[in-house]
């Protein structure tokens, strides 16, 4: 009886400890996880889902916004990615995760103005209600996820920065997202699957 009690105690201690570690761990996807689809409003008023793209081989999902200097520094590179990889089956889907109540420069109207000014060639969606970015585990803008479509699932194959020089496009040496998508198009796994970069925290109230 005593042993049983001891066992129960140890067991509950383990459960409590693991509950805590789950709590402190960052939520969000790891490489190999299946990412959720979504239905979010685009700047043209239409709703966009990954499942709309029947012919896509995958997606370059980028959480970005209007104002963050690191997001702004990457705008031209995001457009270039879409132009290069949309024809190859990997279109860019940009999602603005900021709550416009917390960041007044990220309203739908200002997103429309930004897309027009820069000539965005890809959907620029609003994460209304901020339901999607926490599932992905995005912490900042810009924050990129390369998804591979496999049996109608969207498998996370790369998480991180677009390249190794977020603030200065002229100093880029390694293009992480391009390398990852190129590898997937060849039927390989990306060599580098996660990277870090400075960015702006996602704005919430």
Partner 1 sequence: MSSCKDEPRTDTKNLPEQEEVEVSNENIPTLNYNELKPLLNKKDDKTHVINFWATWCAPCVKELPYFEKIHKTYNDDNVEVILVSLDFPKKKESSLIPFVKKKNIQSKVLHLDDTKEQFWIGDIAESWSGALPATLIYNKDKRQFYEQSFTQEELETEIQTFLN
Chain contacts with partner 1 (rule: CB under 8 A): 26, 68-69, 103, 139-140, 143, 161, 164-168, 171, 195-203
Nearest distance in Å: CB 69, partner 1: 5
Q: Which is nearer to partner 1, 103 or 157 (CB)?
A: 103
- Beta-bridge partners for 147: 59, 156
For residues 191, 121, 143 and 140, what is the CA-based torsion angle, rounded to 10 degrees? 170
- Residue 48 CA to residue 89 CA, distance in Å, equals 17
Nearest distance in Å: CB 103, partner 1: 7
Q: Which is nearer to partner 1, 84 or 167 (CB)?
A: 167
Q: Which is nearer to partner 1, 165 or 182 (CB)?
A: 165
Nearest distance in Å: CB 196, partner 1: 4
N-term to C-term CA, the chain:
52
Q: Which is nearer to partner 1, 72 or 185 (CB)?
A: 72
Q: Give helix 108-118 / helix 69-85 axis angle, nearest 10°.
A: 60
Return the HEC string of 3-60: HHHHHHHHHHHHHHHHHHHHHHCCCCCCCCCEECCCCEEECCCCEECHHHCCCCCEEE
Give the CA distances from residue 162 to residues 40, 158, 192, in Å, rounded to whole numbers and listed in that order. Answer: 23, 10, 12
Q: Which is nearer to partner 1, 56 or 161 (CB)?
A: 161
Nearest distance in Å: CB 112, partner 1: 22
- Residue 43 CA to residue 59 CA, distance in Å, equals 19
Nearest distance in Å: CB 25, partner 1: 9
């Amino acid at each position: 009886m005593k042993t049983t009690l001891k066992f129960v105690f140890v067991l509950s201690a383990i459960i409590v400890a693991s509950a805590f570690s789950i709590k402190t761990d960052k939520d969000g996807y790891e490489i190999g996880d299946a990412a959720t689809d979504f239905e979010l409003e685009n700047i043209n008023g239409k709703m966009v889902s990954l499942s709309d793209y029947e012919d896509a081989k995958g997606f370059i999902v980028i959480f970005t916004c209007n104002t963050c200097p690191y997001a702004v520094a990457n705008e031209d590179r995001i457009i270039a990615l879409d132009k290069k990889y949309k024809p190859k089956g990997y279109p860019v889907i940009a999602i603005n995760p900021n709550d416009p109540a917390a960041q007044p420069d990220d309203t739908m109207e200002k997103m429309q103005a930004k897309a027009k000014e820069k000539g965005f060639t890809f959907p620029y969606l609003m994460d209304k209600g901020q339901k999607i970015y926490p599932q992905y585990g995005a912490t900042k803008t810009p924050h990129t996820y390369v998804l591979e479509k496999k049996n109608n699932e969207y498998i996370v194959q790369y998480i991180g920065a677009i390249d190794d020089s977020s603030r200065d496009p002229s100093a880029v040496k390694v293009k992480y997202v391009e390398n990852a998508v190129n590898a997937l198009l060849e039927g390989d796994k990306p060599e580098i699957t996660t990277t870090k970069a400075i960015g702006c925290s996602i704005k919430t109230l």
